[in-house]
Every structure is written in structure tokens, then in C-alpha cells.
Structure 1
Amino acid sequence: MLDRRKILTIGGVAGAASVMPLARLAHGDSTENGVRNATSHHHHGGKVTTRSVAANAAPPLDPFSVPMPVPQVLRPSYRTSKLDQYVLDIQPANVEIFPGFKTAALTYGGTFVGPTILATEGRAIQIKYRNRLKEDANVHLHGGHNPASSDGHPMDVIPAGGSKVYTYPNRQPGATLWYHDHVHHLEAEHVFRGLHGFYLLKGYDEARLNLPSGEYDVPIMLRYGKFDEDGQILFSPYDDVSTRTTFLVNGRPQPYFKVAARRYRFRLLNASNHGDFKVNLGGREMVQIASDGGLLPAPVSRKEVLITPGERAEVVVDFSDVPVGSSVVLESEWGPVMRFDVDRRGFDTGGPPAVLRPNPTLPKPTVEREIRMQLSDDQQVFWINGKPFDPDRVDVRIKRGTTEVWRIYNDDSDWGIDHNFHLHMVRFRVLDRDGAPPWPGESGLKDTVSVPPGTSVRVQATFGEHLGRFVYHCHMMEHSGPFQMMAQMEIVQ
């Protein structure tokens, strides 16, 4: 039986990087040398206790002393009138995360944040992934509406030395997607070591909306890391998340980014294994225009945005009133994450319109289901509806083209363990949270949703054109991979 400490660890409860409400009882944490301090506060039987935990021994680095890179764009190897073709290697590489240190990483294309793939709604892409690792790997396009053969099912692997062509039809509205490894039992470590990148799908309807574009449209990957004094990645599925204390932004610790005094579109992604980011700009307005599934029906003014693992939030930030030579800091509840340095004047016109992308009409659901997420009775793994993942078992069969409502429960209130829920292949609408309206920014289409302990979320999805087996799971990667909080659905005729 797992002891309570390990349960808290794999549940993401322990420490400042945690996504648990009880961990949010922490206060007074500071950030030094790009890492949070190692004091954690825990709630046991109605009492708050404090303990010290070992932080990572990452090389010392002054905050905001390295620039934030924008991931390079992958160029197609061949183009036709209807199709773009790419080749991308899955390979080990020595990368620079800390200045003066080479970090051994697992990468797509040799960079710690893989190259960005630019796609257009309605134009298909094929990517030949070549596995140069000494172990199995694969690729899941998170948020993609793709055939089962190109979904990156956890059991559909690319063996060491092998290759596989994935086809992405892109028959879905524009959105910020991302790709990452999804090999069962290896996913958490592979992603932690660098197998992640952006896939930006441009929608037909975006050109008319006067949104920042080109160099003013910037993808930003947020995540937590853990390193030794030589800058090498440290990973264990049992890690207390309060030791994953380095803020990484596009693969660099607590960086700065130079901006003009004008509007920017920032595509924020939380690529952490577990650990949320509740970010703010010190009271400055962020106008959220999109979430996981793309543009919202209308812009939402935010002062703070919560992004749990796997979720995306697109925000427009206006720096036009910031004097040249001044800075704005992006902060989380655990300390500064990165800094925007306004170094030049800028110009653009207006802001987002009052209407962005109206939601599609909700068809009448034909089935309602309950999905219950919880720690197993023997406390060895996590369950969905009382069972661990079994690739030979189909948990749900769904008729193609039908619409269903799922109520997703987090039954781990006794342990205070947070979960979130990711559904492959389709996007859904959040209908309510225990009968209350969805949170701000949840009004559009999504594929990942936070489910705090003791609560439920009701979602509605239409299961479209693709037949076959797909998975749904908690996107806390240690939960779904090593500890089996995943289930399987089959879309049938």
C-alpha cells in the first residue's frame, strides 16, 4: 500500500507547485534564483502544518536574466495544392536551458520545446515521425480531431529506430493545439524531459477579427522543472511537486521577453505534468479570446487566469500605455514567472470585436453518463469508474455522430486530490459545475477541464466522423500514465 506521502505526491497535493486547494493554503512563498522556496503548508485533520522539503539544486540564475525564445517554425519538406508534408525526428539532444550548461533532453527536432507546426483549417498535414530514441515513443496531437491511427493512442507506439506517418485533416476550427508523447507508462517522463511542442491551427474566421498576428502572436509554454546542480533533468513519478520548483517558459527559466508598446496575442499553454498556473499581470487587464478549442463566443476581461495541465488560454495584452523602458511581470501565486520589457514604440488598430466565434448549436443528447475519478481502494493506482486502465477493455461504446452529456466527478475529496479531465478526438462544451455556471473563460469549446476534489463538471460532446478506439483520462500525467487513471472509448457505426 502506498503511504500517505506518496499518495499526496502523485496526487499533486504536496507543496507550492501543487494544484490542490489545500496546498493553496500556502502563503509567504518567495522566488529566488528562478525557483520557489521549499516551504510547504499542509492541512491535516483541520490543522495546518508546515514542513521543509528539498528544492531542486538547479544552477543559480538571476531572475529575468535570459531571453524567452519563440519556438522555431517547422518547414514542410513537400507541398501540394492540398497537403503539407513534414519530417520530424524524435531524438535525444543536449540543449541549453541554463546559460553555460548543456542539459540532456528528449526532444522533437533537437529543441527542448519542439518546433511549432503551423496549420490552416481545411488543409491537411502529414508528418513522418522518426524515432531516434532507444525506446518506444509516439505523438498525440492534443486537441486534434484526427483518425484513431493518427491520434497517438498510448498503445500505438513508434518502436526505437522506427517511423510512422500521422495524418491530420485539420477539419476543425482554428485553435492552439499542442503535441506530446503519449506512450503508456512512459508519457510522464518523456514529456517532463522535453517531448512537447505547439501546433497552431489558423481558422477561416480569424483574419476579419483584427487580432494581433505575425510577430505579435506569441506561443508561451509554461511548466515546472527539476534539475541538479549541473543542469540535468531530475524525474521521478513519486516526486513531491514542491521540488519541481523551476519555472520554465518556452524552455528557459524565468526569462524576459522584449515587446513593443502595442497589443499582443499570447497563447498560454500549461505543459506541466501536474501543477497549475494561476497567472496575473499585477492587476493589468488580460482579454481572454480563446481556450482549448479555439475562440470564445466573446472576449472576457480577466485580471487572473487559471490554467491546469494540458489547458490553453489565449489572451490579448495591451502594452500601449506602458512607457518604453518599463516592464510588466507575469506572476503566479507562487512568484514571478517571466517579465515583459517594453523596449520600443508600437502601432496597431483597435481591439477584438464584441463577437468572436459563436458556439455551434448543442444537439439533443441521446445518452448521459457518469465518469468518476478516484484513488483505488488499495491506494495503489487511480481509477475511472472503479477500474484502472486496461488496453484490452473498452469502457464505453459510442455511436458515431451522436451527442452525449458526461458528468465528471472527482471523488477524492477525502484526500484533497485534484484531477482534470481530457477527452481525445472531440471537443466539448462545459455546461455547469455542480449546477453553477462554468468558470470565466469556459464558455467556448474545450478538451481539458479542471475538476477540483469533491466537485463535478457536466460536459456535452458530439462524437464525429472518426471510428475506432480513443482514450480519456486525467491530464495530471503521473495519474494517467504510471498510475493508470485512463479509460478507453470506441466510436462505432
Structure 2
Amino acid sequence: MLNRRRLLAAGAGVGGVMLLPFTGLTPVGAKDVKAPAQKPRRFGARGTATGVRPAVAPFSVRMPVPQVLEPAHRTSTADVYKMVIKPAEAEIIPGVRTPVLTYGGQFVGPTIRARTGRAVKIVYGNRLDTPANVHLHGGHVPPVSDGHPMDVIQPGEARLYDYPNTQQGATLWYHDHSHQMEAEHVFRGLHGFYLIDDEAEKSLRLPTGAYDVPIMLRDIEFDANGELIFFDDPANRTTILANGKIQPYFPVAARKYRFRLLNASNEHVFQLNLGGREMMKIASDGGLLPAPVPSTELVLASAERAEIVVDFARYPVGSQLVLSNGSTPILRFDVTRTASDDSRLPDVLRPLPALPAATVVRDVAMSFDLSGAIPVGMVNNRPFDPARADFQVKRGATEIWRVTNADTIGVDHTFHMHLEQFRVLDRNGAPPLPQDAGLKDTVHLPANGSVRIQVTFTDYVGRYVYHCHYLEHSSIGMMAQMEITP
């Protein structure tokens, strides 16, 4: 059996204008995207801290909704934002200030609401004392703006990211992806929502505005002083947060709500339920499903998203519905009032795109090398090397990848592909599971599990990574590169 502690041991014009408010920060140009490799960081120095479960009265704090960031500037074709990456303190435990890392000073970073067909440009300035960057998880973006693990923003520098938003509406998120630091940076708070609204969905009349609520779920571990413990067994992260709060409540009206659920944990699988009550799943990682799917449980592995509609009009005012992870309460919905409701849940949502014929079949196996003193993550028996491209992919090609959890030590993985959404064809040779439905960019691979996925590489060329999204695994090598060529 694997010892977990041993495992842990292992646009120029716009940019020039927007960099000006970042006093003391130096812009990074497109020609400078390949930053020097960071020095290897050894994981495992847990120190003397012992994890404790905070004594917080259940459902005594209201769940906040992350602030929607307003553009600093608008052009005829793009919304332009600026954001600082900086340390801060967050009141996760009531009355306790916990040191965290943030985008924009917020423990759940500000939400960016983009629109299909309208570009977003974001200038990030790094005020940390370590390199950092930003990956738009699920985003279809050019390589220079993908947040490649080696494309970092050095301390005191700033950088422009350009997101064309040519994809359909979806719940995406942004997080740090600086190599060997991604696990700790995301654990300490470098994460936020990026929501793409789509004109093509307006006629569906799904819940909008205050009734369209993103909810980030994640696990965490504190010491007795309320500070975060990162260098420990992930199984000890037994405190669950909903939008940065412990067991909060959220008042709702007796009407339909659209909840956008994200598992932002480094290494956790949620089994979500409303105590047997029905949830209507309407979307996966990459956007709407063909039709709503009734469910009483949602399985959500690290980095996966699901959108659900819950109709609280079914319950009288005064009702309380608890969202739980198995039998562990996470969040309580309190039906506090009546409200008019002109939204609906149509029987048909959005057809999935056709699957072109695949011309290439590839195998991807994720595993650990435990032969040395420090575990090493591997893809196809090789650890990540930024100088090496493992697959050469032709732009426009459709491929089938068979992705396998090749470990023999009972460890889970999740697989994430940058750039493109994919479809899950089968799992362990059998039909896909409910959580595999729709357009995906991340898929769960339990021990001895395998999936076949089909993906079309549409337009961009350049290098992108694919990796295990248990971030402690990718940070010690469980990552590889594909190079898309004309």
C-alpha cells in the first residue's frame, strides 16, 4: 500500500496600457513566454503542525457568492481586466484570519463573466515572492495564453492573457499552473470561476442573474492556529468548504436555481446529494448536455464541473435542504421566501457535436515510479520534461486516446487535457458512467480504471500539456506535452 507521506515527498497595445496601474511590475512580452525552469522543490516538509477540525457551528455563516469582476476597460471587440496575484488573509473560520494566496485579494478569486464570441484580455501582476501563472481550465485558447507550466510570471512582473471565447457557453475556472508549485498554490487559494455566457442559450430561459450561482467545493486542512497545512496526507483534509466557508447556509426563494458546481480540490472525489431529493443535471465541463438528466447523486472528481437546476418551488417556505458529500453536510439551502419565476427547464438543451471519424489511436498510462527515495510521477513511463513533446498531433485531426490508470498501488488519478474538450466513448470497455456524459476536459480514473476518449484538434498549433489533475501528482512529474502542428 502506498504511503501517502512518501508520495508527497516526491495583445501588445492593450497590454501596454493596462500594465500601467501595476506600480513596480515589469511587463512580460509574448517573446518572453518561456521562463527559466524553476529549481526543483522538494515536497514533504510537513513541519510540526497537527491538523485539527475547526469548531464551527453548522450553518451559522451565509455562503457568499464570489464577486463578479467588472472590466477595467472595454473595446469594440474585447473586455479588458486587470488582477493582482498577492498574499492576503481570509476569514474561513469565523473570527480567524488565515494567510492565503489570492487572485485579486479574494480567497475564491473574482468571477469573470465572458461571452461567446467576445474576447477577454486579462493582465495579471505577480506580487508573490514566487513565480506564478494562470491556466484557464477548459479554455480553448492559443498556447501563449494557456498558462503552460513553464510560462510563469516572475515576482514583480505582469503578463497579458488573451482569451478569444470562441467556444460555447460553459463553466470554466482559472487556477495557478506553475510547475512544481501548482499543488501548493491552488491549495492556498489561487482559484476562481470563469463563466462563458452564450447567446444561443438565451431562448432556453434557464435561471439567470441572482438565480445562477457558482459554488466552488474543495477540501482543506487547518492547524490549531487556523493556518493551512499543505504538506500532509491529502486524506487529512477533512474540512469541506463551499465558496470558501465551512458548512454555510444559503437563503433561496421558492423557485428554480441554476447551480454551477466545481470541485477545486487538489485530490478529492465528491459524492453529492440533497438527501435523496432530485437534482436536474444540465451541463458538464464543456457546456450543456443534450437534455436534462434527473439524478439523486452527482460524482465530481477534482477539477470536474457539473451544472444542476433545483426547483425550490417544490418545497414550502421554511424548508431546509442539505447538500452533502455522502453523509457529510456541506451546505444548507434555506427556502425563505416566495418569488416569481419566468425561467424554465426545457426537455431539450443542446445537441452534442458530431464525432468525426478518428484517424489516430494513442495510449496514455499514468503511474508512479517508487523505485527511488522520492516518488516520481510518470506518463507512459516518463516524467515530465518541458523540452520533450511526447505526441505530434496534426491540426484538424480527430484522435482516440485510451487513458489508463496503470498504478498497481490502489491510487486514483484524474486526467485533464488542455485546449480541447473531448467525449468519453467507454469506461473499462463498458458504457460511460453518468459523470462521463457531455463535453469533458477532465475525467476520473479510479485504481485499475481506463477510458477511451475522442477529441478533435481544431485550429491552434503549439505545445499543450495533458496530466493528472491530482495536483500533487502532476507537480512531481505526472504530465506530458503534445505538439500540435499544421
TM-score using structure 1 length: 0.88
Q: Deviations over 1:60-79 (max 9, x none)?
A: 11111111000001110110
Superposed CA offset, 1:314-370 (max 9, x none): 000111121212200001125111100111112324632221111111111110001
Q: Give 2:223's aligned amino acid.
A: D
- Give 2:125's aligned residue: 130
After the TM superposition, which residues 299-378 of structure 1 pair with which residues of structure 2 at under 5 Å, given as runs? Answer: 299-349=292-342, 351-376=344-369, 378=371
- Tell me how far apart the structure 2 counterparts of residues 6 and 318 of structure 1 sit (CA, whole Å): 41
Structure-1 residue corresponding to 2:194: 199
CA–CA distance in structure 1, aligned partners of residues 51 and 215 of structure 2? 23
Q: Does 1:262 align with 2:255?
A: yes
**Do the aligned residues in 1 keep the contact of 2:207 with 2:343 (CA within 8 Å)?**
no
1:59-458 to structure 2, matched below 5 A, reads: 59-236=54-231, 239-349=232-342, 351-376=344-369, 378=371, 380-412=375-407, 414-458=408-452
Segment of structure 1 superposing worse, 322-331 or 189-198: 322-331
Paired with 1:306 and 1:401, the residues of 2 have a C-alpha distance of 32
CA distance in 2 between partners of 1:212 and 1:108 (Å): 28
> Is the 8 Å Cα contact of residues 58 and 230 (structure 1) preserved in structure 2?
no
**1:26-62 Cα deviation digits (max 9, x unpaired):** xxxxxxxxxxxxxxxxxxxxxxxxxxxx972244111
Does residue 468 (structure 1) correspond to residue 466 (structure 2)? The answer is: no
Aligned to 1:486: 479
Distance in 2 between residues matched to 1:299 and 1:10, nearest whole Å: 40
SS at match of 2:132: coil
SS at match of 2:92: coil
The residue identity in structure 2 corresponding to 1:181 is: D
Deviates more, 1:435-444 or 1:285-294: 435-444
- SS at 2:386's partner residue? coil
Residue by residue, what CA displacement relative to the aligned partner does 1:417-464 show, whole Å, maximum 9, x if unpaired? Answer: 111100000000111112211111433111000111112100000112
Task: Quote the offset at 1:373 in angstroms.
Answer: 1.0
Q: Look up the match of 1:36.
A: none
Structure 1: any 5+ residue segments left out of the alignment?
12-53
Q: CA RMSD in A?
A: 1.6
Which amino acid in 2 is paired with 1:378? Answer: S
CA contact (8 A) 2:132 2:154 kept: yes
Conserved 8 A contact 1:56-1:245: no
Amino acid at match of 2:246: P
Q: Which amino acid aligns with 1:243?
A: N
Between the aligned partners of 2:150 and 2:183, the Cα distance in structure 1 is 15
Cα distance in 2 between the residues matched to 1:140 and 1:457: 25
Q: Higher mean Cα deviation, 346-355 or 123-132?
A: 346-355
Aligned with 2:306: secondary structure? Answer: strand
Structure 1 stretches (4+) deviating beyond 3 angstroms?
7-11
The unaligned stretches of length 5 or more in structure 2 are 10-48
Residues 173 and 192 of structure 2 are in contact (CA less than 8 Å); yes or no, is this contact kept in structure 1? yes
Q: Distance in 2 between matches of 1:409 and 1:72?
A: 39
* Distance (whole Å) between structure 1 residues aligned to residue 214 and residue 419 of structure 2: 22
1:297 Cα shift?
Answer: 1.1
Q: What is the identity, as a one-letter code, of the residue corresponding to 1:359?
A: L
**Aligned amino acid, residue 272 of structure 2:** V
Identity over aligned pairs, percent: 58
Deviations along 1:198-229, one digit per CA (max 9) or x if unpaired, are 00001222111121110000000000011122
Distance 1:80 1:147, change over 3 A: same
- CA distance in 2: counterparts of 1:339 and 1:55, whole angstroms: 29
Aligned counterparts of 2:326 and 2:54: Cα–Cα separation in 1:
23
Q: Letter of the aligned partner of 2:234 in structure 1?
A: V
Residue identity in the other structure for 1:171: T
Residues 103-143 of structure 1: CA deviation (Å, up to 9, x unaligned): 11100000100000000000001000000111100000000
Which letter does structure 1 place at the counterpart of 2:440? K
Give CA-to-partner distance per residue, 1:448-488, whole Å, 9 cap, x none: 0011111210000011211111000000000001x210000
- Give, in whole Å, the separation in 2 of the partners of 1:441 and 1:278: 11
* AA of the residue aligned to 1:153: H
What's the secondary structure of 1:247's corresponding residue? Answer: strand
- In 1, the alpha carbon distance for the partners of 2:154 and 2:53 equals 33
The AA in structure 1 aligned to 2:392 is R
Residues 181 and 195, structure 1, Cα contact 8 Å, conserved in 2: yes
Q: Which moved more, 1:429-438 or 1:257-266?
A: 429-438
